[in-house]
Amino acid sequence: MEKVIHVMNGPNLNMLGQRQPEVYGRQTLADVERLCGERAQALGLGLRFMQSNYEGELVTWIQQARTAAAGIIINPGAYSHTSVAILDALNTCEIPVLEVHISNIHKRESFRHHSYVSLRADAVIAGCGTNGYALALEHMATLVAAGQGK
Ligand code: CA2
Protein backbone atom coordinates (compact mmCIF):
# COMPACT_ATOMS: atom_id res chain seq x y z
CA MET A 1 0.00 0.00 0.00
CA GLU A 2 1.15 3.54 -0.77
CA LYS A 3 2.85 5.30 2.14
CA VAL A 4 1.38 8.75 2.67
CA ILE A 5 3.39 11.63 4.13
CA HIS A 6 1.55 14.46 5.83
CA VAL A 7 3.21 17.86 5.29
CA MET A 8 1.91 20.42 7.79
CA ASN A 9 2.48 24.16 7.77
CA GLY A 10 1.78 26.54 10.62
CA PRO A 11 0.68 30.14 10.93
CA ASN A 12 1.34 32.78 8.29
CA LEU A 13 2.91 30.33 5.85
CA ASN A 14 -0.10 30.99 3.60
CA MET A 15 1.57 34.41 3.09
CA LEU A 16 4.65 32.89 1.42
CA GLY A 17 5.70 34.75 -1.71
CA GLN A 18 3.59 37.77 -0.81
CA ARG A 19 5.74 39.44 1.87
CA GLN A 20 9.37 39.37 3.10
CA PRO A 21 10.90 37.69 -0.01
CA GLU A 22 14.36 38.52 1.38
CA VAL A 23 13.67 36.09 4.26
CA TYR A 24 11.29 33.50 2.77
CA GLY A 25 11.88 33.73 -1.00
CA ARG A 26 9.41 34.30 -3.81
CA GLN A 27 7.67 30.94 -3.98
CA THR A 28 4.08 30.77 -2.80
CA LEU A 29 2.68 27.98 -0.64
CA ALA A 30 0.91 26.66 -3.76
CA ASP A 31 4.36 26.46 -5.42
CA VAL A 32 5.68 24.53 -2.40
CA GLU A 33 2.71 22.16 -2.56
CA ARG A 34 3.41 21.53 -6.26
CA LEU A 35 7.13 20.95 -5.54
CA CYS A 36 6.24 18.47 -2.78
CA GLY A 37 3.69 16.71 -4.99
CA GLU A 38 6.23 16.22 -7.77
CA ARG A 39 8.96 15.05 -5.38
CA ALA A 40 6.63 12.69 -3.50
CA GLN A 41 5.45 11.13 -6.76
CA ALA A 42 9.06 10.63 -7.92
CA LEU A 43 9.83 8.94 -4.58
CA GLY A 44 6.74 6.72 -4.77
CA LEU A 45 5.09 8.40 -1.79
CA GLY A 46 1.60 9.77 -1.34
CA LEU A 47 1.22 13.31 -0.04
CA ARG A 48 -1.23 15.28 2.04
CA PHE A 49 -0.30 18.97 2.23
CA MET A 50 -1.91 21.22 4.84
CA GLN A 51 -1.64 24.70 6.34
CA SER A 52 -3.37 26.19 9.36
CA ASN A 53 -3.15 29.39 11.35
CA TYR A 54 -4.64 27.60 14.37
CA GLU A 55 -2.60 25.70 16.95
CA GLY A 56 -5.49 23.37 17.88
CA GLU A 57 -6.08 22.43 14.26
CA LEU A 58 -2.41 21.46 13.89
CA VAL A 59 -2.71 19.35 17.07
CA THR A 60 -5.77 17.59 15.62
CA TRP A 61 -3.98 16.92 12.32
CA ILE A 62 -0.96 15.48 14.18
CA GLN A 63 -3.30 13.17 16.14
CA GLN A 64 -4.89 12.02 12.86
CA ALA A 65 -1.46 11.47 11.27
CA ARG A 66 -0.57 9.01 14.08
CA THR A 67 -2.65 6.35 12.35
CA ALA A 68 -3.12 7.74 8.83
CA ALA A 69 0.42 8.72 7.82
CA ALA A 70 3.77 7.02 7.34
CA GLY A 71 5.56 10.21 8.40
CA ILE A 72 5.10 13.86 9.30
CA ILE A 73 6.98 16.79 7.82
CA ILE A 74 6.15 19.93 9.74
CA ASN A 75 7.01 23.59 9.48
CA PRO A 76 5.28 24.78 12.64
CA GLY A 77 6.06 28.46 11.90
CA ALA A 78 6.15 30.60 15.02
CA TYR A 79 4.52 27.78 17.05
CA SER A 80 7.93 26.06 16.90
CA HIS A 81 9.11 28.53 19.50
CA THR A 82 6.03 28.50 21.76
CA SER A 83 3.92 25.38 21.50
CA VAL A 84 4.16 22.66 24.12
CA ALA A 85 0.78 21.43 22.78
CA ILE A 86 2.28 20.65 19.36
CA LEU A 87 5.30 18.98 21.04
CA ASP A 88 2.96 16.87 23.19
CA ALA A 89 0.96 15.80 20.12
CA LEU A 90 4.12 14.87 18.22
CA ASN A 91 5.36 12.91 21.22
CA THR A 92 2.31 10.61 20.88
CA CYS A 93 3.43 9.68 17.33
CA GLU A 94 5.70 6.73 16.59
CA ILE A 95 6.17 7.63 12.91
CA PRO A 96 9.16 9.72 11.73
CA VAL A 97 8.86 13.47 12.26
CA LEU A 98 10.97 15.92 10.26
CA GLU A 99 11.00 19.65 11.06
CA VAL A 100 11.52 22.18 8.27
CA HIS A 101 12.25 25.89 8.46
CA ILE A 102 12.62 27.91 5.30
CA SER A 103 14.92 30.42 6.97
CA ASN A 104 17.94 29.64 9.13
CA ILE A 105 16.32 30.25 12.51
CA HIS A 106 19.76 30.20 14.21
CA LYS A 107 20.88 33.24 12.22
CA ARG A 108 17.84 35.26 13.29
CA GLU A 109 16.46 36.75 16.53
CA SER A 110 17.38 34.77 19.66
CA PHE A 111 13.71 33.91 20.38
CA ARG A 112 13.75 31.82 17.18
CA HIS A 113 16.79 29.77 18.25
CA HIS A 114 14.77 27.41 20.43
CA SER A 115 12.19 25.06 18.96
CA TYR A 116 9.99 22.85 21.15
CA VAL A 117 9.33 20.71 18.08
CA SER A 118 13.05 19.95 17.75
CA LEU A 119 12.81 18.02 21.05
CA ARG A 120 10.81 15.40 19.10
CA ALA A 121 11.94 15.84 15.50
CA ASP A 122 14.12 13.07 14.09
CA ALA A 123 15.86 15.66 11.91
CA VAL A 124 15.69 19.41 11.36
CA ILE A 125 16.28 21.25 8.08
CA ALA A 126 16.69 25.03 8.30
CA GLY A 127 17.94 27.68 5.93
CA CYS A 128 17.56 25.77 2.65
CA GLY A 129 14.63 27.88 1.51
CA THR A 130 11.60 26.03 0.19
CA ASN A 131 13.97 23.33 -1.14
CA GLY A 132 14.05 22.18 2.50
CA TYR A 133 10.65 20.53 1.93
CA ALA A 134 12.07 18.52 -0.99
CA LEU A 135 15.11 17.55 1.10
CA ALA A 136 12.81 16.46 3.92
CA LEU A 137 10.80 14.28 1.53
CA GLU A 138 14.03 12.66 0.27
CA HIS A 139 15.10 11.86 3.82
CA MET A 140 11.60 10.68 4.73
CA ALA A 141 11.71 8.25 1.80
CA THR A 142 14.89 6.67 3.19
CA LEU A 143 13.37 6.41 6.69
CA VAL A 144 10.16 4.88 5.38
CA ALA A 145 12.08 2.44 3.16
CA ALA A 146 14.12 1.42 6.22
CA GLY A 147 10.85 0.47 7.90
CA GLN A 148 10.61 3.40 10.26
CA GLY A 149 7.29 4.58 8.76
CA LYS A 150 3.88 2.92 9.04
O1 CA2 B 1 11.74 29.84 8.54
C2 CA2 B 1 10.65 29.30 8.74
O3 CA2 B 1 10.16 28.48 7.98
C4 CA2 B 1 9.81 29.73 9.95
O5 CA2 B 1 9.18 28.55 10.48
C6 CA2 B 1 8.77 30.69 9.43
C7 CA2 B 1 7.92 31.33 10.52
C8 CA2 B 1 8.81 31.90 11.63
O9 CA2 B 1 7.99 32.36 12.69
C10 CA2 B 1 9.78 30.87 12.16
O11 CA2 B 1 10.60 31.49 13.15
C12 CA2 B 1 10.66 30.35 11.04
C13 CA2 B 1 7.10 32.46 9.96
C14 CA2 B 1 6.24 32.10 8.81
C15 CA2 B 1 5.72 33.38 8.25
O16 CA2 B 1 5.79 33.28 6.86
C17 CA2 B 1 5.65 34.43 6.16
C18 CA2 B 1 5.96 34.33 4.83
C19 CA2 B 1 5.85 35.43 4.05
C20 CA2 B 1 5.41 36.64 4.57
C21 CA2 B 1 5.11 36.73 5.91
C22 CA2 B 1 5.21 35.61 6.70
The rounded distance, in Å, linking the Cα atoms of 114 and 84 is 12
User: Residue 145 C-alpha to ligand 1 middle, in angstroms?
Assistant: 31
Structural domains for the chain: 3-145 (3.40.50.9100)
Catalytic residue among 79, 101, 116, 133: 101
Q: Percent of the chain beyond pLDDT 90?
A: 93
Name which of 15-19, 58-62, 104-108, 131-135 the model is least confident about: 15-19
* Residue to substitute in 14, 22, 98, 103 for testing ligand 1 pocket (most ligand atoms within 8 angstroms of CB): 103
Mean pLDDT of 44-73: 98
Mean pLDDT of 56-76: 98
Q: In the annotation, is 6 catalytic?
A: no
The rounded distance, in Å, linking the Cα atoms of 136 and 27 is 17
The rounded distance, in Å, linking the Cα atoms of 140 and 123 is 10
Q: Predicted confidence band at 1 (pLDDT cuts at 50, 70, 90)?
A: confident
The rounded distance, in Å, linking the Cα atoms of 10 and 27 is 16
Higher pLDDT, 19 or 141: 141
pLDDT of residue 148: 78
Catalytic residue among 24, 79, 116, 133: 24
Q: Predicted confidence band at 150 (pLDDT cuts at 50, 70, 90)?
A: low
Residues with a CB atom less than 6 Å from ligand 1: 12-13, 15-16, 18-20, 24, 75, 77-78, 80, 101-103, 105, 112
